[in-house]
């Protein structure tokens, strides 16, 4: 018998058959992983929470803020100018609008010549009061620093080694260290604010050498979200692949030395977990045992 040659298959037919097999396999997997009625209801319920909870909480906090401002500002209006005295219902947001207009007018007035004279007079008057002047100057300096357009406060998130070597925390740069604190330190230091979780309004003020800080590419808003959520919300790394492959620091305590600052402030390198008197104590203990 003559050898019968198998006719070559069409590549298109082969690709189509492979696609059909993949489609059938995926359909079988979907059938196997099909959710039951209870699991589907649970998934829908969690999805509804994820959609409505942020909207509800944001709206509720905004409503509380508007109600607080309205309760403090609206009663200050004369009765004849208060629309709530003519309407059978309250006007939400009226106090907020009045406060916005008032602050805008104050800013426009103080920008003029007479406004600056009045501002100087009030500042001199407040500076003569023993306790009030300290509060006024501190609050004014903080607001001027934070609200200034050229201010770099809280505009950069950094990574700092805290509370010990090998542990890292997110902090925010508030400015360069100046004055006596900088003059008594050898390294160039930076003022950083280390917030606590989940309340970022409280935290610690640290003066850290500039070389010990690692700048982060994430924005301040993303870093604050990460701090508030306790690390649940992690912003994506948008750096280039080359930057991702570059290791900036190590999480391991890679040196077996510690620095002691003696009375004359001379740094001394010693073996870790030992002190200068440890050997003398061992010798004394051995002598007592003899």
Task: Indicate if the alpha-carbon torsion angle 217, 222, 225, 229 is positive or negative.
Answer: negative
**Structure-derived torsion over alpha carbons of residues 59, 62, 64, 68, reported in degrees to the nearest 10:** -160
Domain boundaries, the chain: 112-147, 157-244
So what's the pLDDT on residue 2?
Answer: 45
H or E element, residue 270: strand 267-271
Concatenated DSSP letters of 58-108: HHHHHHHHHHHHHHHHGGGS-GGG-GGGTSSS--TTHHHHHHHHHHHHHHH
CA 279 to chain centroid, in Å, comes to 47
Tell me the β-bridge partners of 269.
259
Task: Indicate if the alpha-carbon torsion angle 285, 286, 289, 290 is positive or negative.
Answer: negative
So what's the pLDDT on residue 32?
Answer: 47
Of 172, 173, 170, the C-alpha closest to 227 is 170
Report how far residue 175's alpha carbon sits from residue 181's, in angstroms, rounded to the nearest whole number.
Answer: 13
So what's the pLDDT on residue 165?
Answer: 79
Total count of residues recorded for the chain? 290
So what's the pLDDT on residue 171?
Answer: 94
Q: What is the layout of strands, in order, in the sheet containing 168-176?
A: 203-209, 189-195, 168-176, 157-161, 214-215
H or E element, residue 258: strand 257-261
So what's the pLDDT on residue 74?
Answer: 83
Q: Cβ distance 158 to 215 under 8 Å? A: yes
So what's the pLDDT on residue 206?
Answer: 93
For residue 227, give both structure tokens.
């701090």
CATH of 157-244, one of 1.10.3470, 3.30.420, 3.90.550, 2.30.30: 2.30.30
pLDDT in tens, the chain (290 residues): 444 454 555 544 444 555 554 555 555 555 445 778 888 888 888 888 888 888 898 899 889 998 888 888 888 888 777 777 777 777 888 888 888 888 888 888 888 888 888 888 888 888 888 888 888 888 887 777 666 655 566 778 999 988 887 789 999 998 889 999 999 988 899 999 999 988 888 899 999 999 889 999 998 889 998 998 888 888 888 888 888 888 777 655 555 555 555 545 555 555 655 554 554 444 454 445 55
Task: Indicate if the alpha-carbon torsion angle 136, 137, 138, 139 is positive or negative.
Answer: positive
So what's the pLDDT on residue 80?
Answer: 79
So what's the pLDDT on residue 82?
Answer: 79
């Amino acid at each position: 018998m003559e050898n019968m040659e198998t006719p070559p298959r069409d590549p298109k037919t082969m690709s189509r058959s492979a696609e059909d097999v993949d489609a059938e396999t995926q359909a079988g997997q979907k059938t196997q992983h099909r959710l039951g009625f209870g699991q589907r209801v649970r998934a829908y319920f969690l999805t509804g929470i994820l959609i409505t909870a942020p909207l509800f909480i944001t709206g509720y906090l905004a409503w509380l803020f508007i109600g607080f401002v309205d309760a403090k500002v609206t009663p200050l209006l004369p009765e004849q100018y208060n629309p709530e005295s003519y309407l059978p219902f309250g006007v939400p947001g009226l106090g907020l609008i009045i406060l916005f207009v008032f602050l805008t007018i104050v800013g426009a007035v103080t920008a003029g010549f007479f406004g600056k004279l009045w501002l100087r007079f009030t500042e001199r008057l407040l500076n003569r009061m023993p306790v009030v002047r300290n509060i006024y100057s501190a609050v004014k300096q903080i607001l001027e620093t934070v609200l200034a357009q050229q201010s770099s406060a809280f505009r950069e998130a950094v990574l700092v080694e805290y509370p010990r070597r090998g542990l890292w925390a997110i902090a925010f740069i508030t400015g360069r260290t100046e004055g006596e604190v900088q003059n008594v330190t050898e390294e160039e230091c930076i003022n950083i604010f280390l917030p606590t979780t989940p309340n970022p309004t409280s935290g610690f003020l640290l003066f850290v050498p500039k070389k010990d800080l690692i700048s982060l590419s994430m924005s301040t808003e993303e870093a604050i979200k990460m701090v508030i959520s306790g690390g649940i919300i992690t912003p994506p790394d948008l750096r280039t692949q080359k930057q991702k492959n570059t290791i900036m620091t190590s999480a391991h305590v890679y040196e077996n030395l510690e620095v002691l600052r003696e009375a004359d402030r001379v740094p001394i390198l010693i073996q870790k977990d030992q002190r200068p008197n440890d050997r003398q104590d061992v010798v004394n203990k051995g002598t007592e045992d003899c």
